[in-house]
Structures are given as structure tokens and as C-alpha cells.
């Protein structure tokens, strides 16, 4: 039974994975620890960018872009302006 349809990053999904083999597999692709991923989600949400939704935030946490072009490739449908993109990049850099 599905209780909630909230998009999660790979790191955040580790809280819900019970199988150790699957957990190890997902962890191998995660570049950030679970706690830091939760903190980063909170910071990105607090930016209150209208064009940034939960799905976008999950993608940003998974890929941790370091440059504007990377953000544009990860979120091609978001139409973020330069200031918004710079704000996202600087927020992510706090967690690298």
C-alpha cells in the first residue's frame, strides 16, 4: 500500500530500504550521507524558489551539480534564471 508519493534522493531513500544488498547498491551511487541529504533538502526548500519543486530538489541532491550548466542539464524544464541558479549552486557547495 502506497502511503505517500514524495520524491526522495537516493541518500534519503536509504532510510526505507530494508534489504542490505539493495541498500549497499544504492549507497554506491550516493555521493552524500543521509543526514546531509536531509539538511540539503531543507536548505533548498527554504530558498522558496517557485520554479524548484520536490522532484527537482531530489535530482539536485542526487547529482550535486557544481556549475550552472550542470543545473540546466539536470533541470531543463525549470527555466531558472542566473540568480536562482547561482543561489542553488552556492547552497549545494556548502554540503560538498
| Domain-located, residue 18 | yes
| Domain-located, residue 4 | no
Asked whether residue 75 carries a pLDDT value surpassing 90, the answer given is yes
Residue 18 pLDDT grade (very low, low, confident, very high; cuts 50, 70, 90): very high
| Domain-located, residue 83 | yes
Distance CA 82, CA 88 (A): 10
Q: Which domain does 77 fall in, by range? A: 10-93
Asked whether residue 4 carries a pLDDT value surpassing 90, the answer given is no
| Domain-located, residue 72 | yes
**Using one digit for the tens of pLDDT, what is the confidence trace for 47-65?**
999 999 999 999 999 999 9
| Domain-located, residue 3 | no
Exposed / middle / buried, residue 7 (Cβ in 10 Å: 0-12, 13-18, 19+): middle
Residue 3 pLDDT grade (very low, low, confident, very high; cuts 50, 70, 90): confident
How many structural domains comprise the chain? 1
| Domain-located, residue 26 | yes
Amino acid at each position: 500500500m502506497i502511503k505517500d508519493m514524495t520524491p526522495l534522493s537516493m541518500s534519503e531513500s536509504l532510510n526505507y530500504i530494508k534489504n542490505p544488498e539493495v541498500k549497499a547498491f544504492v549507497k554506491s551511487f550516493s555521493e552524500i550521507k543521509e543526514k546531509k541529504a536531509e539538511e540539503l533538502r531543507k536548505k533548498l526548500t527554504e530558498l522558496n524558489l517557485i520554479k524548484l519543486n520536490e522532484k527537482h530538489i531530489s535530482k539536485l541532491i542526487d547529482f550535486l551539480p557544481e556549475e550552472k550548466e550542470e543545473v540546466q542539464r539536470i533541470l531543463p524544464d525549470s527555466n531558472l534564471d542566473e540568480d536562482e541558479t547561482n543561489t542553488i549552486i552556492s547552497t549545494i557547495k556548502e554540503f560538498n
